[in-house]
C-alpha cells in the first residue's frame, strides 16, 4: 500500500505540478496561470476522493479473491474486508466508533445468535473480542452485512451474513493463517 501511495499520489503530484508549471508559467502569462489554476482546483476533488487506503487482498482479511491492497479505492458504506469501517450511528445514539473495543469487535446486526460462535472461538484463542448487538435499521443496513468483524485499527477483517468458521476467521485476522489457502 505504501508503494501505491508513493506512486499514485506523491510521484504523480510532483510530475503533474512540474508539467502544469511548464505549460502555465505565471512569469510568462499570469492570467493564463490563474485561469488554469482555478480549473485545476476543481479536478483535484476526484483525486482526493479516490484516496482510500485499504489492504483488501491481504492474507489477514477474508475478502474477495484477486483483491489487491492499494491507496486508491472508493468510499462506500458497505463493510468490506480490508477497508476502514464506515461510521454509522447505533440505536443507542452513539457512533459505532465510540463503541468499538480495544481488541477485535464483532458487530451483529440481527443474526440468530451467530455471535456466540465468535465469542466461544475468541475465548478459546485468547483473542479480545467485544460484541455490539444492534439492528440493521437507521442506516446500518448500508453495511450490506449482518456480521462485521472489526480489527483494533478500525479496519474490517471480515463481513458477511453467516460465518461458517468463526475460529478460522479470527485466526486469519490475527495472522494465524495457512499459506496454502
Looking at mean pLDDT, say which of 20-34, 68-82, 93-107 comes out highest: 93-107
Position 119 scores a pLDDT of: 94
Length of the chain as a residue count: 181
**Residue 55 vs residue 98, higher pLDDT:** 98
Q: What is the pTM of this model?
A: 0.68
Q: pLDDT digits over 103-133, tens only? A: 999 999 987 778 899 999 999 999 999 999 9
Q: pLDDT digits over 148-172, tens only? A: 999 999 999 999 988 778 999 999 8
User: Is residue 150 exposed (0-12), middle (13-18) or buried (19+ Cβ within 10 Å)?
Assistant: buried
CATH 3.40.30.120 fits 77-173, yes or no: yes
**How much is the average pLDDT of 129-152?**
91
CB neighbours of 149 closer than 8 A, spacing ≥ 6?
Answer: 104, 105, 106, 118, 156, 157, 158, 159, 169, 170, 173
Domain residue limits, the chain: 2-52, 77-173
Amino acid at each position: 500500500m505504501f508503494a501505491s501511495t508513493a506512486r499514485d499520489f506523491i510521484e504523480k503530484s510532483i510530475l503533474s505540478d512540474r508539467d502544469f508549471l511548464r505549460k502555465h508559467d505565471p512569469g510568462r502569462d499570469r492570467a493564463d496561470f490563474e485561469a488554469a489554476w482555478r480549473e485545476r482546483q476543481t479536478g483535484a476533488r476526484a483525486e482526493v476522493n479516490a484516496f482510500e487506503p485499504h489492504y483488501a487482498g491481504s492474507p489477514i482479511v477474508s475478502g474477495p479473491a484477486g483483491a489487491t491492497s492499494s491507496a486508491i479505492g472508493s468510499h462506500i458504506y458497505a463493510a468490506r474486508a480490508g477497508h476502514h469501517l464506515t461510521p454509522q450511528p447505533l440505536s443507542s445514539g452513539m457512533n459505532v466508533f465510540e463503541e468499538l473495543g480495544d481488541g477485535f469487535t464483532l458487530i451483529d446486526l440481527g443474526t440468530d445468535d451467530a455471535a456466540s460462535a465468535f465469542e466461544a472461538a475468541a475465548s478459546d484463542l485468547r483473542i479480545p473480542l467485544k460484541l455490539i448487538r444492534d439492528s440493521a435499521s437507521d442506516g446500518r443496513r448500508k453495511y450490506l452485512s449482518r456480521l462485521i468483524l472489526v480489527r483494533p485499527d478500525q479496519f474490517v477483517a471480515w463481513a458477511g451474513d453467516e460465518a461458517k468458521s468463526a475460529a478460522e476467521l479470527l485466526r486469519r485476522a490475527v495472522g494465524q493463517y495457512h499459506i496454502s489457502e
